RNA sequence: CGGGGCGUAGCUCAGCCUGGUAGAGCGCCAGCUUUGGGAGCUGGAUGCCGGAGGUUCGAAUCCUCUCGCCCCGACCA
C-alpha cells in the first residue's frame, strides 16, 4: 500500500476525550473514530489490525475443534423468555420492536440462540461433542462506556459454546478452550494469565478470566512470578486429556484484587508479582443452566433423553486491540507485535522525486509485495520528521529508510520499532533480514 | 443511576466573569524557499459559537429548557 493513497488520518495532538493511552493512540494513529458514546467506526488501519487478531483467534479456535458459525445480531425476545433472562437482563439489553410490534433485541450474548440451533438440529449423543463459535458484534448498553474500544457498548466478540453428553466430557471441552486461549494470547505477544473467576450472571460452577498484564490495566492482579515465565502450550493434541496441562496453570497462585489471599501471598515472598491487568477472555462451565429450561436434549446410548452440558467461552476481540496497545507502546506511539501489525514493513522514502531514492524504494516495495509481506510505502512528499513520526506512531515493526545520503553509498537504514535500533546495510541485505 | 465537567474552524484551545456582531496555533489549499526526527515566508479557504426558547436596540457571552460528549463512583468481553 502506498501511504499517499491510504486513508490514514493521523493526529499530531491528542483529542481531549481520550484518557487512556490506547484510546489516544488509536485516535492519533487513525485507527478509529467515535460515532457515539461507546460506538466506533474502524478506519482502514484499525480494521487491518482487527482482522489480524480475528484470524489468530479463528485459527486457534479451529485447531481446538470449534466450528465457526454466524448468528444474528438481532434476536427474538421470545427466546429470551424461555431462558428467563428477558426480564433479568435489565436495561443493558437494547430492546427493539419491529413493525409488527414483536419484541426483538440486539444480542448482548448468544446462549439462547445457539441453544435453539442445537435443540432444533442435534438429536443424538452420537453427534456430540459440538463446539460452535462466532466472531460477531455484540451490543450491551453499558451505564458508562469509556476508554474507547476498551469498554464500548458495541464490541466485537468471539463467543463459543460447547455441548456435551456429561460433565466429564464437558470439562474436557472447557479444558480445550482453556488451552486454546493460552495459545491465542501468546501469539499476539501478550502475557495472559488465567484466574479463577466469579461466574456472575452467566452462571455455572467453574469459570476463569484471562487477564493481560499492562501497567494501565483496570484491575489489580496478584500472582506467582512463575506464571509470567510459563510458556504457552506447544504442539497441543486437543483430543488427549488436557487436565494436567490446565492444572499446571491453575495450581500456580493468581488472583484478582477482590479475591486475593494475603496469607497465600506471604508464602510467595519475592516471587509475588503485583501487576495490573485487562480482562480479554472469560470462560464458563455452566452445565444445564440453559439446556434444561430450553429443552436441549439428545437421545443417549440407552435410548433415553439426556439434557446436554454446556459451556461458553468469550474473547473480547475489539478490546484486544486496545489491550495490545496498552501492553506495547512508548512515547512515540504504538509498538505492534509482528503477528498483529497492520503492516509488517514500512519503506520510507526520505526524498520523493530524487531518482535514486525513488528507484530504490520502488524496487524494495515491489520485492516485498512479491514476497507476500504486508508493506506500507511512504511515498508522500513530506519532510523526514513527519514520516519518521508517523511510522513510529502507527507502530510498524520493521522500517527501511531510504535517503539520498545513504543511497549515494548504496546503503539503506533498517530500523526496528521495538527499541529503535538502527543499522546501515545495503538494500538486498535489508530485504533478507526483513523476509527472514 | 448518583456526583462533577465540557460543547467555539478538521485538531488543541482563547474569547464568556464585565453583551457591541468570530480569534490563535497546528492542520488544509496555492506559490516560493527548504529537505535525515512533526520546517520558513507569502497568500487563501473553513464556523447555524451543540439545539430551542427567553431577556435586550444588540447574545458565543446573561436566563430557562434540551441534546451530546467526557471524568469519578456502583457494574461488565
A322-358 per-position pLDDT tens digit: 999 999 999 999 999 999 999 999 999 999 999 999 9
A382 CA to B42 C1' in angstroms comes to 20
Residues 6+ apart with CB under 8 A from A71: A107, A110, A113, A114, A117, A134, A136
What average pLDDT does the segment A98-115 reach? 94
According to DSSP, the β-strands at A130-139 and A67-68 are parallel
Distance A431 CA to B50 C1' (A): 52
Domains defined for chain A, CATH in brackets? 21-334 (3.30.930.10), 345-435 (3.40.50.800)
SS3 assignment, position A78? helix
Q: Closest nucleotide (CA of A218 to C1')?
A: B76
Residue A57 · residue A315 · CB < 8 Å: yes
Nucleotide nearest A348 (Cα, C1'): B36
Mean pLDDT of A149-160: 95
Q: What nucleotide is nearest A389 when CA is compared to C1'? A: B38
User: Which nucleotide across the nucleic acid strands is nearest to A284, CA versus C1'?
Assistant: B77
CA A106 – CA A19 distance, rounded (Å) = 29
Q: What is the pLDDT confidence band of residue A203, given thresholds at 50, 70 and 90? A: low
- A348-357 burial, b at 16+ Cβ within 10 Å, e below that, comes to bbbbeebeeb
What pTM, to 2 d.p., does this model score? 0.96
Using the predicted structure, report yes or no on whether residue A225 has a pLDDT greater than 80: yes
Here the ipTM equals 0.93
Report the pLDDT averaged over residues A397-415: 96
Q: Locate A26 and state its grid cell.
A: 488509536
Give the pLDDT confidence score for residue A376 in this predicted structure. 98
pLDDT for the residue A370: 97
- Closest residue (CA) to C1' of nucleotide B74 is A143
Q: What pLDDT is recorded for position A216?
A: 75
> Is it the case that residue A219 has pLDDT exceeding 90?
no
Output the distance from A328 CA to B37 C1' rounded to whole Å.
21
Nucleotide closest in space to A37 (CA vs C1'): B69
Distance in angstroms, CA of A28 to C1' of B27? 13
- Per-residue pLDDT, A201: 62
Find residue A222's DSSP bridge partners. A255, A274
CA distances from A387 to A25, A34, A95, A394 (A): 17, 26, 47, 11
Name the residue with the least CA to C1' distance from nucleotide B5.
A17
Q: Output the CA torsion sign for A168, A172, A175, A177.
A: negative
Closest CA to the C1' of B72: that residue is A144
Nucleotide with the nearest C1' to A38 CA:
B69
Q: How far is the CA of A1 from the C1' of B24 (A)?
A: 37
Distance A258 CA to B74 C1' (A): 15
Å from A43 (CA) to B39 (C1')? Answer: 29
Give the count of beta carbons closer than 10 Å to the beta carbon of residue A47.
Answer: 14
Listed as ranges, the nucleotides of chain B within 7 A of a protein C-beta are: 1-2, 11-13, 25-27, 34-39, 68-77
| CA-to-C1' span, A88 to B73 (A) | 24
Kindly report the average pLDDT of chain A as a whole number.
93
Of A79, A133, A84, A148, which is closest to residue A107 (Cα–Cα)? A79
Task: List the A13 CA – B6 C1' distance (angstroms).
Answer: 18
Q: Which residue has the closest alpha carbon to B25 C1'?
A: A13
- The DSSP element (H or E) to which A268 belongs, if any, is helix A262-268
Distance from CA(A379) to C1'(B5), angstroms, rounded: 43
Determine the pLDDT at residue A16: 84
Q: Which residue is nearest to nucleotide B34 (CA to C1')?
A: A383
For the ranges A35-49, A250-264, A365-379, the lowest mean pLDDT is seen at A250-264
Our measurement of CA A101 to C1' B13, in angstroms, reads: 48
| Closest C1' nucleotide to A198's CA | B76
Q: Which residue is nearest to nucleotide B71 (CA to C1')?
A: A19
C-alpha cell at A163: 455441548
Distance of CA A388 to the CA centre of its chain: 28
Question: Nucleotide B38: nearest residue by CA–C1'?
Answer: A386
Amino acid at each position: 500500500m502506498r501511504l499517499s493513497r491510504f486513508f490514514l488520518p493521523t493526529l499530531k495532538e491528542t483529542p481531549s476525550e481520550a484518557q487512556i493511552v490506547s484510546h489516544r493512540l488509536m485516535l492519533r494513529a487513525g485507527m478509529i473514530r467515535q460515532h457515539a458514546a461507546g460506538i466506533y467506526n474502524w478506519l482502514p488501519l484499525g480494521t487491518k489490525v482487527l482482522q489480524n487478531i480475528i484470524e489468530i483467534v479463528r485459527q486457534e479456535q479451529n485447531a481446538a475443534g470449534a466450528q465457526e458459525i454466524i448468528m444474528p445480531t438481532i434476536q427474538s425476545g421470545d427466546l429470551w423468555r424461555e431462558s428467563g433472562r428477558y426480564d433479568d437482563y435489565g436495561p443493558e439489553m437494547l430492546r427493539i420492536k419491529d413493525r409488527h410490534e414483536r419484541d426483538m433485541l440486539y444480542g448482548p450474548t448468544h446462549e439462547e440462540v445457539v441453544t435453539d440451533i442445537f435443540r432444533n438440529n442435534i438429536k443424538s449423543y452420537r453427534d456430540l461433542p459440538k463446539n460452535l463459535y462466532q466472531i460477531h458484534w455484540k451490543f450491551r448498553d453499558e451505564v458508562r462506556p469509556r476508554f474507547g474500544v476498551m469498554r464500548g457498548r458495541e464490541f466485537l466478540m468471539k463467543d463459543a459454546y460447547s455441548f456435551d453428553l456429561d460433565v466429564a466430557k464437558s470439562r474436557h471441552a472447557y479444558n480445550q478452550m482453556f488451552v486454546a486461549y493460552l495459545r491465542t494470547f501468546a501469539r499476539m505477544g501478550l502475557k495472559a494469565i488465567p484466574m479463577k473467576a466469579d461466574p456472575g450472571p452467566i452462571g455455572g460452577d467453574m469459570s476463569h478470566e484471562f487477564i493481560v498484564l499492562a501497567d494501565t490495566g483496570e484491575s489489580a492482579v496478584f500472582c506467582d512470578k512463575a506464571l509470567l515465565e510459563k510458556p504457552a502450550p506447544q504442539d497441543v493434541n486437543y483430543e488427549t486429556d488436557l487436565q494436567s496441562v490446565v492444572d499446571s496453570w491453575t495450581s500456580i497462585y493468581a488472583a484478582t484484587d477482590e479475591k486475593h489471599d494475603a496469607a497465600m501471598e506471604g508464602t510467595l515472598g519475592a516471587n509475588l508479582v503485583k501487576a495490573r491487568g485487562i480482562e480479554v477472555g472469560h470462560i464458563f462451565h455452566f452445565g444445564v443452566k440453559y439446556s434444561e429450561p430450553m429443552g436441549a436434549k439428545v437421545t443417549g446410548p440407552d435410548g433415553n433423553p439426556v439434557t446436554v452440558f454446556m459451556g461458553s467461552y468469550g474473547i473480547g476481540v475489539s478490546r484486544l486491540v486496545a489491550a495490545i496497545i496498552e501492553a506495547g507502546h512508548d512515547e512515540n506511539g504504538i509498538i505492534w507485535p509482528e503477528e498483529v501489525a497492520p503492516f509488517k514493513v514500512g519503506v520510507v522514502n526520505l526524498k520523493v522525486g530524487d531518482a535514486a531514492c525513488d528507484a530504490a524504494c520502488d524496487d524494495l516495495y515491489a520485492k516485498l509485495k512479491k514476497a507476500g509481506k504486508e508493506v506500507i510505502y511512504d511515498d508522500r512528499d513530506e519532510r523526514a520528521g513527519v514520516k519518521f513520526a508517523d511510522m513510529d506512531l502507527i507502530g510498524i515493526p520493521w522500517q527501511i529508510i531510504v535517503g539520498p545520503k545513504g543511497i549515494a553509498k548504496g546503503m539503506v537504514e533498517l530500523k526496528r520499532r521495538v527499541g529503535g535500533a538502527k543499522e546501515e546495510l545495503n538494500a538486498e541485505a535489508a530485504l533478507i533480514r526483513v523476509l527472514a
